[in-house]
Amino acid sequence: MKLFFWQPWLIPILPLAGALINGLFGKRFTKSVIAAVALCFTGASFLVACAHAYTLVHSGADALEISYGTWIRAGAFSADFGIYLDHLSLVMMLVVTGVGFLIHVYSVAYMEHEGGYYRFFSYLNFFMFFMLTLVLANNYLLMFVGWEGVGLASYLLIGFFFLKDSAANAGKKAFITNRVGDFGFLIALFLLIQHFGTVRYAAVLDIVSHLSVEATAGVLTAIGLLMLVGACGKSAQIPLYVWLPDAMEGPTPVSALIHAATMVTAGVYMVCRSNAIFSRAPIALLAVAIIGTLTSFFAATIGITQTDIKRVLAYSTVSQLGYMFMAAGVAAYSAAVFHLMTHAFFKALLFLGAGSVIHGIGGEQDMRKMGGLRKYMPWTFWTMLIATLAISGIPPFAGFFSKDEILWQAFSSPHGSKIFWVMGVITAFMTSFYMFRLIFLTFTGEYRGAKPDAHAAHDDHGHDHGTPHESPWLILAPLVLLGVLSVIGGWVGIGNRFEQFLDPVIQKVSVEQSSAQNGEAAATTGSEGAGENKGLENLLMGISVLVAFSGLGLAWFLYVKRPELPARIADASGGLYRLVLNKYWIDELYSAAIIGPLLWLSRVVLWQSIDQKLIDGTVNESAVAARDVSQIIRQQQSGLVRSYAGWIAAGAAAVVAYMVWMGTR
Amino acid sequence: MIPVSWYLLLSAFLFACGVTGFLIKRNIITLFMSIELMLNGVNLSFIAFATRLGTLDGHIFVFFVMVVAAAEAAVGLAIIISVYRTRETLNVDRVNLLKL
């Protein structure tokens, strides 16, 4: 235990070291050295994380908390640099380091032809550091540091191609939208400090669980709702989801790592981490569930109409995050974390696959210009197919288990409702539909890209940009590994094993409440209800599988069997189609309702009136006045000695006259 | 005994002559002489009061003024010679720059 590499602080610090080495000296390194540094440090971090996960699970302890000294002390309040390792942060930590490492490997090949190679890896490691800080912190304040840090890393990486206007703007949009959410999180933090005097998870949990429900319901609800605002910003939920689709301007590995697998799930992590608070604030919990359900539904409808391959995946991510919020909102935190994990596998795979496709056909992202790529890039096709099956919820792939768990909890949890379930099932149908639409448009049929197939066959060099080609093995290896994880990742949830694994983290607060509410029901369904429940669960499972297959079927019918139909349907639905295609004009609405007035206020009132007229006016006018007065006075400094002498004489005469007058009075 | 006011009137007259000369003349040497005139006008009133009050303070002051005036004359004349050498003029209105 005392060995140096056993220190848990190494887990976040190693990527930071990598970021510093590459960031400070990377300019002089060759590409292979840069890649080696980045991979070694993240890989080592993953290994240390694995070792700690192993020890923790086998020690049987619920949590491991280590403090490395005080960071802030003010009166009775103090915050530590500390690490809190329990089963929840353990899952997050393994996902972040594991998927992160695979994406690093992928990036080595993917970013090879881009400028700023060292900058990219430095940012990527930098992101890993802050994400691990967020996940491993032992108090909310340190979590907030990680929270802001990943926001910064996200901004830097979205705007990685900063010479492109759209990328720079997308970076700014993400950063500013996140500010809104961070504001909520910050106020929640202040409330925590004010009412509980501490931000340590363990202490907050202890205080909260000894409070009577009536005494603090208002405070806890306020804290919960404000945390939800923060989570909405970071995890791209309604109404702050607008930044995530634009964030696709960043390089594809970034989309996979930050905007699919890890950073955007920080909000879910926070809600699950604060489950003690949320479970005691039913209104906040309901708000989480409603926002999650609405987000998953609306994002899925938008996903159906998008034609940019990465944007489809972006909306799909928003939608899946909505699922996680729905699960958290019905107090099924372990289901949320389970889906978070499986989603990290298959969504990262989908993004990396999309990146491989984009790489293979020379930078094209429009699915209408793809098609028939299956025979050019079989590995990419098969791995992406696995991920698509997983996200659609088709057994036995990972997504099936987690999604089914969420839907079941939405239906059956004491906080759940049939409405959530219905919306969830419809969303599952749409998810399956738009994902297979993506697959069919991209991989089946004829290649609709710039260069016809026949032409390519005559060309001998297969790596010509117009000709689709399979990606190198460095890109394919992560795809395959993630593909394996997308298949088996869900099996840990069989027989509620995952739920039991997270049990120590999820406080059983609602037990007494719910038993008070439906004590009767619980008592009666206790014995014979179990079998009935099992039957119901199986029925619902059957429905969700059916729905997934029907989405597949519809996509196949529309995009393979009758490819001319989608355009006609789009024409027939007219306004509705345009509404969805334009993403409900939410961006336009925001820009008219918020950004426009804000810009007007800034430009007309703050800039032109206050800054230019008031502040500049005051400064400039006083300067002009000083100049005018000086202009008069400086006439006197003529350099004529006799004129000076005359003034002295006149002054002396005046003084004498005054004294004489005073004396004779 | 001549009343002290006569001495003071003479002193004021000498001082006024010095001021007037300083203001209207352009030749540096004349200005210099005007300054000496002013100093001596002041000296005269010192002496007059000292004699009238029967103390030595005024006499001592006058000696000091004379010593300083002599030193000043030495420095001033040196400057005047230096100015004349470089500018070839003694007109103060044409000596209004410290540096050529």
Say if CB A154 and CB A127 are below 8 A apart. yes
User: What ipTM, to 2 d.p.?
Assistant: 0.73
pLDDT at A624: 95
Report, as an integer, the average pLDDT of B68-93: 90
Q: What is the Cα A480 distance to its own chain's centre?
A: 24
pLDDT at A511: 43
A59-102 residue pLDDT tens: 877 888 888 889 988 888 888 899 998 889 999 999 999 999 99
- Looking at CA atoms only, how far is residue B31 from chain A in angstroms? 10
pLDDT at A526: 42
Residues of A in Cβ contact (< 8 Å) with B24: 642
Report, as an integer, the average pLDDT of A591-602: 89
pTM of the model: 0.78
Minimum Cα–Cα distance from A637: chain B residue: B96
pLDDT at A466: 59
Question: Is the Cβ pair B92, A641 closer than 8 Å?
Answer: yes
Q: If 0-12 CB within 10 Å is exposed, 13-18 middle and 19+ buried, where does residue A134 land?
A: buried
Question: Is the Cβ pair B22, A642 closer than 8 Å?
Answer: yes
pLDDT at A145: 93
Q: Does the pLDDT at position A651 exceed 90?
A: yes
Question: Is the Cβ pair B92, A645 closer than 8 Å?
Answer: no
Q: Does the pLDDT at position A46 exceed 70?
A: yes
- Best probe of the A interface among B8, B22, B90, by most A CBs < 10 A, is B22
Say if CB A42 and CB A101 are below 8 A apart. yes
Q: From the DSSP assignment, how many helices (H) and strands (E) are in chain B?
A: 3, 0
pLDDT at A536: 85
CA separation (Å) from A530 to A411, A414, A476, A519, A571? 15, 16, 45, 15, 50
The residue with greater pLDDT, A495 or B15, is: B15
Question: Is the Cβ pair B19, A639 closer than 8 Å?
Answer: no
At A82, give phi and psi (nearest 5°): -140, 160
Query: In which element (H, E) is residue A82 found?
Result: strand A77-86
A503-520 residue pLDDT tens: 877 765 544 444 444 443
- Best probe of the B interface among A638, A640, A642, by most B CBs < 10 A, is A642
- Best probe of the A interface among B93, B94, B98, B99, by most A CBs < 10 A, is B93
Indicate the range of A167-181, A215-229, A456-470, B10-24 predicted with least confidence.
Answer: A456-470
A244 token code pair: 């995530």
- Looking at CA atoms only, how far is residue B14 from chain A in angstroms? 14
Query: In which element (H, E) is residue A117 found?
Result: helix A117-136
- 């609709």: which residue's tokens? A448
Q: Does the pLDDT at position A114 exceed 60?
A: yes
